[in-house]
């Protein structure tokens, strides 16, 4: 039983990370209809930036906040400089640009900081809590930080004029433009926010998976699965999807483990995590493309 609870707890912690990356993906998807294949590598690059800042002697949280700001600027710049001119380009061009960004971020991280695995510190105390043995301090911290970030985003989008303008720009660009919202800049801000949320995920996960240029590959795949499960057009759904997929991932591995213990037959385990994500992605895409909470898109022919 304790093992089962442990699996749920670590699923929640992973889920928090997936939720962040999925939310970043959805924020860009909702406003521009693009799926950002470079989201994971951007988050990885942000994690490296914060590592570098700490290496220069900053404390964790100072580096954290600086990194989030730098990532915001990075996101805005990418949107303004690279994607804006391709406003009306065909889908393939956009995908190719994203793959190009992925390759650039990945190889630049390797070039600046080498491909050697780096330890990444955790800001949370080592001491055990009351629920010791079930959830570790870092896992609990990750969930808390994620919830705070999500709460801040919710407040921003729900209760501030700028948040309202951004939602308007995403939902109905023409109308928004008519009432004086600068839609172009809203998209760029959306990109910046997405990059910041991704940065939080990158920094939080770097302690768990260790810092290296390819660390986000699997996480990005799970974030895709989360966004799809929750409905790629629904930010709240993406967050829920993140937690669902995070728990599901650990449950599948746990069940596989139990089956192997009981029958001695290996079916599925930790080595198949990406395959599970692939199956989720293809299953949701073909069977229920709107996901659990997404809007069903009806196309007029």
Q: Is the separation of the CB atoms in 181 and 169 below 8 Å?
A: yes
| CB burial string 69-95: b at 16+ within 10 A, e below | ebbbebbbebbbeebeeeeeeeeeebe
Residue 48 near another protein by CB under 8 A: no
Residue 275 C-beta: closest distance to another protein, Å = 5
Residue 158 C-beta: closest distance to another protein, Å = 28
Sort residue 291 into left (φ over 0), alpha (ψ -120 to 50) or beta.
left
Residue 117 near another protein by CB under 8 A: no
The site string for another protein over 123-162 (x = CB under 8 A, - otherwise) reads ----------------------------------------
Residue 266 near another protein by CB under 8 A: yes
Question: What residues are paired with 211 via a beta bridge?
Answer: 118
Alpha-carbon 269 to chain mean position: 23
3-state secondary structure of 38: coil
Which candidate, 255, 268, 292, places its Cα nearest to that of 4? 255
Residue 35 near another protein by CB under 8 A: yes
Residue 114 near another protein by CB under 8 A: yes
Residue 122 C-beta: closest distance to another protein, Å = 27
Among residues 5, 69, 103, 296, which is the contact residue for another protein, using CB under 8 A?
103
Q: Which of residues 59-88 bind another protein (CB under 8 A)?
A: 82, 85-86
Which candidate, 289, 19, 295, places its Cα nearest to that of 171? 295
Residue 135 C-beta: closest distance to another protein, Å = 27
Helices marked H in 136-234: 137-159, 161-171, 173-178, 183-209, 217-230
Residue 97 near another protein by CB under 8 A: yes
Residue 152 C-beta: closest distance to another protein, Å = 28
Residue 287 C-beta: closest distance to another protein, Å = 9
For 85, half-sphere exposure in the C-beta direction (CA atoms, 13 angstrom radius) is: 5
What does the alpha-carbon distance between residue 186 and residue 162 come to, in Å, rounded to a whole number?
A: 9
Residue with tokens 């790629």, as numbered in its chain: 232
Residue 183 C-beta: closest distance to another protein, Å = 21
What does the alpha-carbon distance between residue 147 and residue 33 come to, in Å, rounded to a whole number?
A: 26
Residue 26 near another protein by CB under 8 A: no
Among residues 96, 140, 164, 251, which is the contact residue for another protein, using CB under 8 A?
96
CB closer to another protein, 115 vs 129: 115
Among residues 5, 69, 73, 104, which is the contact residue for another protein, using CB under 8 A?
104
Applying CB under 8 A, the residues found at the interface with another protein are 33-35, 37, 82, 85-86, 89, 91-93, 95-97, 99-108, 110-112, 114, 217-218, 220-221, 224-225, 266, 269, 271-275, 277-278, 281-282, 285-286, 289, 301
């Amino acid at each position: 039983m304790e093992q089962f609870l442990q699996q749920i707890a670590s699923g929640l912690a992973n889920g928090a990370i997936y939720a962040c990356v999925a939310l970043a993906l959805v924020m860009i998807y909702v406003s521009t209809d693009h799926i950002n294949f470079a989201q994971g590598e951007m988050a990885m690059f942000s994690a490296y930036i914060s590592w570098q800042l700490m290496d220069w002697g900053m404390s964790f949280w100072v580096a954290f906040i600086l990194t989030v700001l730098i990532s915001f600027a990075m996101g805005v710049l990418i949107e303004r400089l690279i994607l804006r001119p391709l406003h009306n380009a065909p889908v393939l061009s956009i995908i190719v640009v994203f793959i190009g960004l992925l390759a650039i971020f990945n190889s630049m991280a390797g070039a600046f900081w080498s491909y050697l695995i780096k330890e990444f510190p955790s800001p949370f105390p080592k001491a055990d809590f009351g629920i010791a043995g079930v959830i570790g301090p870092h896992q609990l911290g990750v969930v808390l930080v994620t919830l705070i970030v999500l709460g801040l985003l919710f407040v921003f989008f729900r209760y501030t004029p700028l948040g309202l303008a951004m939602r308007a720009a995403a939902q109905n660009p023409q109308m928004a433009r008519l009432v004086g919202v600068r839609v172009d800049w809203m998209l760029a801000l959306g990109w910046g926010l997405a990059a910041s949320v991704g940065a939080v995920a990158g920094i939080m996960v770097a302690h768990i998976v260790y810092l290296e240029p390819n660390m986000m590959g699997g996480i990005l795949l799970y974030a895709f699965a989360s966004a799809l499960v929750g409905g790629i057009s629904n930010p709240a759904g993406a967050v829920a999807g993140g937690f669902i997929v995070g728990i599901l991932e650990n449950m599948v591995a746990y069940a596989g483990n139990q089956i192997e213990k009981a029958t001695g037959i290996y079916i599925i385990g930790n080595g198949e995590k990406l395959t599970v994500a692939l199956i989720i992605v293809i299953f949701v895409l073909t069977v229920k493309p709107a996901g659990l909470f997404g809007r069903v898109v009806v196309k007029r022919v």
